[in-house]
Structure formats: C-alpha cells, structure tokens
Amino acid sequence: MKITATTKEEFSVQFRNYLNQDKSRNLCNIVYKWKVENNIPRMKGESNILYIGQTKRSLYDRYSDKRSFNIELTYFEQFYKYAIQEYGSLFIEILAVDDVKLEEHRELDHYRSMHFEYPPLNRAIPRMQKNNN
C-alpha cells in the first residue's frame, strides 16, 4: 500500500489504513524505512529513503498512539507532502530483525557510508569522541 495524499486529511486516512494492514499490526522487533518511489539526490549519489527507525513493538503500536500519530501529521505538512509531490508515493518498508538497535545502527551506518550523510528525516547526530588527554 502506498500513500499518495495531497492533504492532511487524506494522509490521516491513508496512514491509518496503512497501519491497519496485517504486516503493520503483527510484526514486532522491526527496523522500518520511510521511502518514496523515486530517488532523492544526496551528498553522494541518490536514495529513496527518507527515514530509518526501529521499534520492538509493531509499526501499528509505534504510531497508533495520538502523540506519535500527530507528529506524523505534522511531518506530512512539513515534509511528506512535498516528498510525495516531487518524488512519488510514500511507503514503509518493514524488516523483522532479532536485535532492533543493532540492525538500525547497521542500516544507518550503511546509508551514511553510501551517501556521506544520514537520511533526510533522521535526526541522529554522531556523538563526538571524548579526548582522553
């Protein structure tokens, strides 16, 4: 299922439908990637990945509470609407994994090594190494 919304209301309906799919409800311990259909230019190369995240819960449980859902509605207004217009439908890839933190780290590290930066909506900032002098 793809999200093609042009309004906040359409996004709300389409995202709720997305979350109600069996895969979104039943898979736990996941790494998930918000993606668009077409690639976005990056510092090096291109990618269709907007965000990489993880949860020990299901995608449904991750986003179904009011606060998390409302954050995504705000993201629609600020980012997703433009991304859909410029790069095509929005969708979420779900990967079932054993160790969510390790796999998320691997996915982010791989992305960074490929593009010299993190996905556009990841707010992860590398920690500075402590100098032991």
* Confidence label for 123 from pLDDT (cuts 50, 70 and 90): confident
Count of domains observed in the chain: 1
The C-alpha atoms of residue 46 and residue 78 are separated, in whole angstroms, by 21
∠ CA 54-109-99, nearest 5°, is 40
Question: Both tokens of residue 42?
Answer: 């990056």
- Is the residue at 2 inside a domain? no
- Is the residue at 1 inside a domain? no
Burial letters 91-112, b for 16+ CB under 10 A, else e? bbeebebeebeebbeebbeebb
Residue 47: strand, helix, or coil? strand
**What's the pTM value of the predicted model, to 2 decimals?**
0.88
- Is the residue at 126 inside a domain? no
- Is the residue at 19 inside a domain? yes
- Is the residue at 50 inside a domain? yes
* Domain housing 39: 8-115
Taking 80 as the threshold, does the pLDDT of residue 132 lie above it?
no
Cβ pair 119, 112 in contact under 8 A: no
Task: Give per-residue pLDDT as tens, 47-99.
Answer: 999 999 999 999 999 998 999 999 999 999 999 999 999 999 999 999 999 99
